[in-house]
Amino acid sequence: MMKKVGSISVIFAVIVFALGASLAEAADVIRIGSIYPLTGAIASSGLRSKHAIETAIDVINNKYDFDIPFARTEGIPNLKGAKLQVIWGDSQASPEVGKTEAERLITQEKVPLLLGAYQSSVSKSASFVAERFKIPFVCAESSSAALTERGLKYFFRIAPTDAEDSIAFFDFLDEMKKKGKKVEKVALVYENTEFGVHARGEAKKQADKRGYKIVADVPYTFKSTDVKSEVLKIKAAKPDVIIQASLLGDMMLFAKAFKEQKVEFMANLAYCGGYHDPSFVLNMKKDAEFYMGQCTFSVDFITKKPVLGKINEMYKKRSGVDFDGVTIEGFTSVLVIADAFNRAQSTDPEKVVQALRTTDLKTPTLPGDGVKFNEHGQNIKIISHISQVQNGQYRVIWPGEMAAAEMVWPFKPWDKR
C-alpha cells in the first residue's frame, strides 16, 4: 500500500512539474481558464460575466484611446504583445461540475490560471483544485468571506466580501436611525448555500453587535419553486428591514410573493447576486422599484469617471445591458490578470502567483480605484456603496458623498406605485 501511495505522489508531482514547465514557455497567445454558469438556472448571470470578460480581453488585446490599464497597448507588453484568450468552462451552477471543469482546464487545456466562478460554492470547489495543482485562481465576484479565510496560497479575490457588505449595510442603517427612521427589527432571508449561509452569519454578527433585533431568520432551498411559507414567516414577524441573499430566480420569486402577500417593510437590502442582475429590473418592472443593495457599479459613476462610459458602451454592445457590480468585477479581474502576466514576464504559475501577491493596480473601474491584495488574497482597496432601483435604474444613494439620487424611504406600498 505504501508503495502505491508513493507512486501516486510521484505521478502527481510529475504532472505538476510538467504543467509548470510547459506553461512557462512564452507564447503568442496566453490561454486562461474561466468557469461560469453558462447553462442552467442562472445562465443569464454567467453569460453577462462572459460578455464582461470578453470586453476586457478586447481592451487588452487591441489599442484604444482611453485611460484603462492596457488600453493603449496591444497584448501583454512584457511578453512581446502576447494576446489573451479565454478557454471556457461551464459550471452549470453546480459545485461538483465546477470542480470537474477546473480539473479539465488545468490538466487537458493546460491553462496557467483560472478565473471565476460567480457562485461562492463553485469558487470554493474549483479553487481547491487550483490549489492542488498550484495554479493561481482569480475570483472576480464570489462574496463569501470564508473563501479568503481558508489559508490558500493561490487564491485572490477582487470583489468585496459579504462581511464588508454587512458592515456597509449596518453603517447605512445606523445612519437611518440617527435621521429618525424606524429601524429596529430585521429579517434575514438567504439561500442555503455557501453564499447565503455566510452572508446570513455576517449580517447577524453586525445586528447583534449593534443592538438590532432579528425577528425572522429564514433559510430556503436554492432554486426554489415556492417560497410562500417563508414569506408568511417574514410577514408575521413584521420586520422594518429585510436583508436578503438570493440569486436571480429566487430574488424574483420572493419579490412576487412579497407583493402577493402584501408584506410591508421599510427597506429590502440585498447582497450581490439577484439584485445586481439587470434581469431583475427588466422582468419585475415596477415591482423592482425601491429595492436596495450592494453596488460596485452604477451608470451614475460615469458622471464622475467618463472613461467608464466608453467601456460600458463596449460591454453593452455585447450584452444589451449596462455593467453591474458583478460584471465590472469580472472586467477588472482580467486587467489584474494581465498586470500579473506583464510583471511576471512569464506564464509560469509560480511567477504569476508572486506577481499577484504584489499587485497594486490603479484602475478607475472599481470604487476605491485600485486592486491590492492582503496576505489572504482579498482586495483591500474596493469600497461598497448602496444603490436603489428608481425608475428602472440602479441609482447610487449611499454614502452621501457618492449619492447621485435621493433615497426613497420607506419602501412604497405595492398598491401605491
Categorize the per-residue pLDDT at 27 as very low, low, confident or very high, splitting at 50, 70 and 90: low
Hey, is 398 helix, strand or coil?
A: strand
**Cα–Cα distance between 334 and 374 in angstroms, integer?**
19
* 304: amino acid identity, one letter: K
Q: How many CB atoms are located within 10 Å of the residue 96 CB?
A: 12
- Kindly provide the residue ranges of all beta strands, DSSP E only, lying in 308-363, ordered along the sequence: 360-362
**Cα–Cα distance between 259 and 79 in angstroms, integer?**
56
What percent of the chain shows pLDDT beyond 70?
A: 94
Asked if residue 410 lies in contact with residue 388, where contact means CB atoms within 8 angstroms, the answer is no
Q: Is the pLDDT score of 99 beyond 70? A: yes
Encode pLDDT of 102-154 as tens digits.
999 999 999 999 999 999 999 999 999 999 999 999 999 999 999 999 999 99
> pTM for this one?
0.89
| Among 206, 16, 209, 208, residue whose Cα is nearest residue 110 | 16
**Cα–Cα distance between 303 and 283 in angstroms, integer?**
27
* 91: amino acid identity, one letter: S
Q: Is the pLDDT score of 63 beyond 90? A: yes
| Among 266, 322, 262, residue whose Cα is nearest residue 290 | 266
Q: Is the pLDDT score of 414 beyond 90? A: no
Encode pLDDT of 359-371 as tens digits.
999 999 999 889 9
Encode pLDDT of 154-187 as tens digits.
999 999 999 999 999 999 999 999 999 989 999 9
Q: Is the pLDDT score of 23 beyond 90? A: no
| Among 48, 75, 46, residue whose Cα is nearest residue 59 | 75
**Cα–Cα distance between 265 and 26 in angstroms, integer?**
57
Q: How many CB atoms are located within 10 Å of the residue 343 CB?
A: 18
Q: Is the pLDDT score of 48 beyond 50? A: yes
pLDDT score recorded for residue 41: 86
Asked if residue 307 lies in contact with residue 68, where contact means CB atoms within 8 angstroms, the answer is yes
pLDDT score recorded for residue 276: 85
Q: Please state the separation of Cα 320 from the chain's center in Å.
A: 20
- Alpha carbon of 330 to those of 55, 142, 210, 392: distances in Å? 10, 10, 33, 23
pLDDT score recorded for residue 97: 98
Q: Is the pLDDT score of 9 beyond 70? A: no
